[in-house]
Amino acid sequence: MSGTPMRLTIGHLYPELLNLYGDRGNITALSRRAAWRGIDVTAIEYRLSDEIDFSALDIVFVGGGSDREQLLVCKRLGEIKARFQEYADGGGVVAAICGGYQLLGRYYKLKNETVEGLSVLDVFTESGEGRLIGDVVIQTDFLEQPVVGFENHGGRTYIGSHAPLGKVVSGGGNNGTDGAEGVRYKNIIATYLHGPLFPKNPHLCDYVLTKALEKKYGAVTLSPLNDDAEFAANRFIVNRFA
């Protein structure tokens, strides 16, 4: 990694509305882990009224939110839907958590209203009886170590023919019944796991950074970091719940 430093721009969508359980910490983890490898990162926070130039973004991050906040956001999403779809279909990297994950799907049906989604993923969500709350452990098919996090959602998501992000080892996952958690599709990572997700799972954070760098610069290998503390914390949760 010599010469001009590599650069990434992260677009953080609507953190004033979508930012539960420290979801913003994911931006910090992405930024710091990139910076420790000499990669320049700019993170842009967008408000609902802001125009988003997707062509300038390498990672789009959408956090979780309450049903009320999702309803507020979905009106605006209708206006940016085509450009978001173009970005994601073209291999743009997206990381979406919980309410953000639901918004990537076709819809989230509440008791009396429906939150229209971006239809970037062919999934749908319906509110269920009670909430799925607690620590979650999943096993993916592309990372060696398990991924851990915390879920708290009333919605149940059904992913059809999509591949999940991982299989539930412990916890509820997408709907508490089919053993699937999240979705991994193209360069989209969508999951119910808060935590924040990336500080708790440095391997998943590096996966997302790698995808963003590969799209922009071609094949890259991130230099290793000392993640002993992070993986000790990760293992603690795995041993406790799995």
CB 29, CB 205: distance < 8 Å: yes
| Residue 98 C-beta: closest distance to ligand GLN, Å | 3
Residues, the chain: 242
**141, 140, 61, 130: which is closest to 98 by C-alpha?**
61
Mutual angle of helices 202-217 and 25-35, in 10-degree steps: 60
Q: Which is nearer to ligand GLN, 25 or 64 (CB)?
A: 64
Q: Which of 153, 162, 194, 203 is catalytic?
A: 194
Q: Is 194 one of the catalytic residues?
A: yes
Residues numbered 42-101 forming contacts with ligand GLN, rule: CB under 6 A: 64-67, 70, 98-99
Residue that is written with structure tokens 């359980």 in the block:
21
Nearer to ligand GLN, 101 or 207 (CB): 101
Residue placing its CB nearer to ligand GLN in the complex, 17 or 39? 17
| Residue 98 is among the residues annotated as catalytic for this protein | yes
Please identify the residue of the shown chain whose CB is closest to the bound ligand GLN.
Answer: 64
Out of 149, 155, 171, 202, which residue is the one contacting ligand GLN (CB under 6 A)? Answer: 155
Tell me how far apart the terminal alpha carbons of the chain are, to the nearest angstrom: 39
Closer residue to ligand GLN (CB): 114 or 210: 114
Q: Could you tell me if 161 and 180 are in contact, meaning their C-beta atoms sit under 8 angstroms apart?
A: no
Among 12, 33, 106, 153, binds ligand GLN (CB under 6 A): 153
| Cβ neighbour number for residue 36 with a 10 Å cutoff | 12
User: Where does this chain bind ligand GLN (CB under 6 A)?
Assistant: 20, 64-67, 70, 98-99, 152-155
Q: Write out the catalytic residue numbers.
A: 98, 194
